[in-house]
Amino acid sequence: MKLTLSVIKADIGSIGGHICPSRELFESVSSYVKKHSHDLLIDHYLSFTGDDIAIVMTHTRGTGDGKIHKLAWDAFITGTETAKAQGLYGAGQDLLKDSFSGNVKGMGPAVAEMEFEERTNEPFLFFAADKTDPGAYNLPLYLAFADPMTTPGLMLAPVMAKGFRFVIMDVNHTEGDRIIELNAPEDLYDIAALLRDTERYVVESIWSRTTDEQSVVVSTSRLHNIAGTYTGKDDPVMLVRVQKSFPATGEILAPYAIGPYVAGCMRGSHQMPLMPVPLNSGISYFDGPPVVSCAAFAMHKGKMTEAVDAFAHPFWDNVRNTVSEKAIGMRRQGFFGAAMLPMSELEYTGIMEKLDRLDGKFRIRE
Ligand code: F6R
Ligand code: MG
Ligand code: MG
């Protein structure tokens, strides 16, 4: 059965600043989807991560379908009314356009979708990250799909022996999708050279070179490239089909134990460690730390089981403690050096205005 798995997410308002959506807001989005999904969806699931609400949908309409996108858009519009009525902060923040025009891509919400022939059993993972951007998945994906130190399956499972194809996008290019396809393991150093620049080069999808099936799709939009000014970080979502010819769930999850430093956190302008958190977690320290959640599912003919919370397991408690220590360690150096993002990535314009003003005051000493 040819199935489409779509996730569309947006920040449309939250409590106490940018912490998390209200129960009423979450309910209004959720009940809108439920009420209007009959002819369109096989199944759906909603969660929030930080201040973002994500709608995971299964259907047979293919990727980029106008009706599916409109359903999510209208659900977020309805939610925005609730957010406004409750006085939530940033109500409708990610809905950058006034009216829907066929596809939510470029309109603010993040989208990740893939169409595939459903396997007899279809385990998959849904990741959502807040207070960071799509490059946050670069390292975990590189390690899980190209490094046998993380994924022994690359050595042990014959079906993975040929490796994986990475489709990487240059997200600075806004006139269209500028992509490159590289194969692991032959192109490993080229893949690494691109993926180290997380603000520009982002993994968009990953494919098995044995079966040609798609495992991964990541939302790649960068709001500051779309809107031209600060509108919040991009808080990426990702879908990963796992097991058999793909890495096992444990191989996909393992890299998150590193708590890698990623761009984001306070004012979208810092480098802070990525913390794996339980589903429906909010945000706290320094408008962060950047967080990632993971819901695991099994699926049959598009019907999903209940979500299992992959980062709720006690193993991750110690990782969270380590990430907290890393976060506090980085904050000790405030705005200095590696703690804050380079000028081109600062989401607020204040510092640029200051530097422009000061530039005029410089003089060449005689
Ligand atoms: C980061 C984020 C927050 C805000 C910060 C200031 O992605 O959303 O850190 O940047 O709370 O928010 P404003 O400018 O809305 O007061
Ligand atoms: Mg936000
Ligand atoms: Mg957010």
Contact by Cβ (8 Å): 168, 89: no
Mutation pick for ligand 1 pocket among 89, 287, 291, 341 (CB with most ligand atoms within 8 Å): 287
190, pLDDT greater than 70: yes
Ligand 1 site, residue 17, Cβ cutoff 6 A: yes
Amino acid at 340: M
Q: How far apart are the first and last CA of the chain?
A: 77
Q: What pairs with residue 261 in β-bridges?
A: 273
Task: Look up the pTM and report it.
Answer: 0.97
Mutation pick for ligand 1 pocket among 132, 267, 345 (CB with most ligand atoms within 8 Å): 267
| SS3 of residue 112 by DSSP | strand
- 232 CA from centroid of ligand 1 (Å): 7
Short-list 74, 102, 64, 70, CA closest to 12: 74
Tell me the C-alpha to C-alpha distance, in Å, between residue 170 and each of 194, 195, 203, 221.
9, 10, 9, 10
Task: Tell me the two tokens of residue 48.
Answer: 């929030």
Beta strand 275-276 with 291-297 is parallel
Ligand 1 site, residue 319, Cβ cutoff 6 A: no
Short-list 216, 15, 7, 237, CA closest to 116: 216
How many Cβ atoms from other residues are within 10 Å of residue 42's Cβ? Answer: 17
Mean pLDDT of the chain: 95
| CB-side neighbour CA atoms (13 Å) of 56 | 25
Residues 295-330 have pLDDT tens digits of 999 999 999 999 999 999 999 999 999 999 999 999
The residues that are catalytic are: 11, 230, 233
- Tokens 């314009």 correspond to 349
| SS3 of residue 42 by DSSP | coil
- 287 CA from centroid of ligand 3 (Å): 10
Residue whose CA is at the smallest distance from ligand 1 atom 12: 267
- 297 CA from centroid of ligand 3 (Å): 23
- 6 CA from centroid of ligand 1 (Å): 28
350, pLDDT greater than 90: no
pLDDT at 174: 81
Residues 246-272 have pLDDT tens digits of 999 999 999 999 999 999 999 999 999
What average pLDDT does range 135-155 have in this prediction?
98
162, pLDDT greater than 60: yes
